[in-house]
Each structure stands twice: as structure tokens, then as C-alpha cells.
Chains A and B, each alone.
Chain A
Amino acid sequence: MSDFLTVLFGTIVLSSMVIIVHLKVAYHPYHNPIPLIISSLTVMLTGIFATSLINSNLTFLDSMRVSVSESIIAILGISPLIYLAIFIILAKVSVSISEIDL
């Protein structure tokens, strides 16, 4: 259960980090990202706090590093399923009855 919660909160922290980085680097003048950055920071800090409660033997920073790393491993572990989903979509797209070949 501890591993499950570590990965769950680690993924929340990781996803929030990704959103914050994305909002920052994809900034353009017609967009106000500040409220979304604040909300993502709040979610991320809540996630870090939760992981530090689960891994009470680690420091705040180390518990975040461990949980995010574990969540990356968990996501990579199921990444072949993402491959399978894209495979099916592209197999459908590749099949066409009438077409003009180049």
C-alpha cells in the first residue's frame, strides 16, 4: 500500500511539475498562466507533503525525489500499452479503400 501511495502522490507531483514547466515555456502574450501556476504549485506541494508523510524516514526533498522517480518507473512500466494504443489508431489510419498513390 505504501508503494501504491508513493507512486500515486509521486505522479501527482510529477504531473504538476510538467504542467508548470509547460505553462512557463509555452507562454505567449495572450495567455495569463499565473492562476494555473498557483493551482499547480498548490497541488504539487500537497503531493510532496503527502509523500513526506508516507516516507517519514526521509527528508522532505528526498521523499519527493524518491516518489517522482518511482512514478517515472511506474509510467515507463506501462508505456507498452501506450504503444499498443497508438499502434491500433495508426493501423486504422493506414488502411484506406480508395486512394491515389504518389
Chain B
Amino acid sequence: MQWWLGLALLVSGYSMARMGPAFRRSRFGLPLFLVGLLLTTYPPDGLLAAESRASNEMLATLEWAGPALIGFILVASGAPIYYVTNKPRLVAGWALVLFAGYSIIVNWSPEADSIILGIAALLGILITVVLHLLAVRFTESLSSGDGVTEPLDEEEIKHVSAILSSHLSQMEGTADE
């Protein structure tokens, strides 16, 4: 049960971290994700053999996926944006990414079986995504179209103004630098 709860927290943490600033749940994303990771990689006894193997596989993957993820974030934030580069971040990011790549080369030995099962997994994801998109399309077709949108109420105006002024002050701060 703990292992499955960990998986659910892992997904929940990722989903919450992706939430925009208008919904302040995003700050819970990373802690939830880390708790989920801890529960899934260090599970209690009593798991099925397949669950134990999955848990071990996750732990082994973390050895390169951890540095790779941090490296990717650093590279993405240090890469040229409007012709401005942050070289220290870029270099540190690429060092981590290359370390992860080296770790993959040393440890990863794909066999025909695992490739075939990988194809099955990709096919499963593809089928689910297509079915989900069809469901989204169907749901949207049910929408009656409410005509003229209601204006924002006082609370929403305050909320949108706060977000806009926060973004504008950030942009001004960056331009001053």
C-alpha cells in the first residue's frame, strides 16, 4: 500500500508543481514529489516480486536520472534566451548531463526483450493518450457555449492585478540589470 501511495504522491507532486501561480498549490509540488520518491524507492516488506523489481529499477534509474534532471533544468535556464546566456549555469548543467550520459553508457545494456517491452509500453501510452484526447474532444463538444462571458468580480480583478503587477515588476527588475 505504501508503495502505491508513493506512486500516487509522485504523480500528484509533479502535477501540482506544474500548476500556475494563480493556484498556490504549486509550492506543495516538490515536497510531495520527494516524499513520493522516498516511499517508492524505499518500500516496506511484503511487496510482490514485480513491485520489488520496479522499486529497485527506479532506484537504479535515479542514479543517472537525478543528475540528468538537475542538469537539464540548469542547461534550459542557462541557455541563450533573447541572446543572453548564463555561462556558469550552462557549464554546470552540461557537466551534470554528461555525467548522467556516462552513467547510462556504463550501466545500460538493452536486450531485445526489454526493447520489445518498451515498444509495448509506448504503444500503451499512445493508446491511452489517443483515447483521452477523444474524450476531451467529446467533452468540449458537449459545451453549449455560454455566449457573453461574465465580467470579472472584485476578487478576480484583485487576483489578476496582483499577478500582472508581480510579473511587470519582475520584468522591470530584469531590464534594469
* A residues apposed to B, CB below 8 Å: 3-5, 7-12, 14-19, 21-22, 25-26, 28, 32, 35-36, 39-40, 43, 62, 65-66, 69-81, 83, 86-87, 90, 93-94, 96, 98-102
Contacts and interface: CB of A to CB of B under 8 A. Distances in A.
B54 A73 contact: yes
Contacts, number: 167
Interface of B: 8, 11-12, 15-16, 18-19, 23, 25, 48, 50-51, 53-54, 57-58, 61, 64-65, 68, 72, 75-76, 79-80, 83-87, 90, 94, 97, 100-101, 104, 108, 110, 113-118, 120-125, 127-129, 131-132, 135-136, 138-139, 142
Given A26-B19, A75-B118, A100 B83 contact: yes
6 contacts: A19-B132, A35-B138, A69-B51, A77-B118, A86-B72, A90-B75
Contacts of A5: 120
A96 B83 contact: yes
Nearest to B142: A35
Contacts of A66: 48, 50
Contact of B118 (A9, A14, A26, A78): A78
Contacts of A14: 124
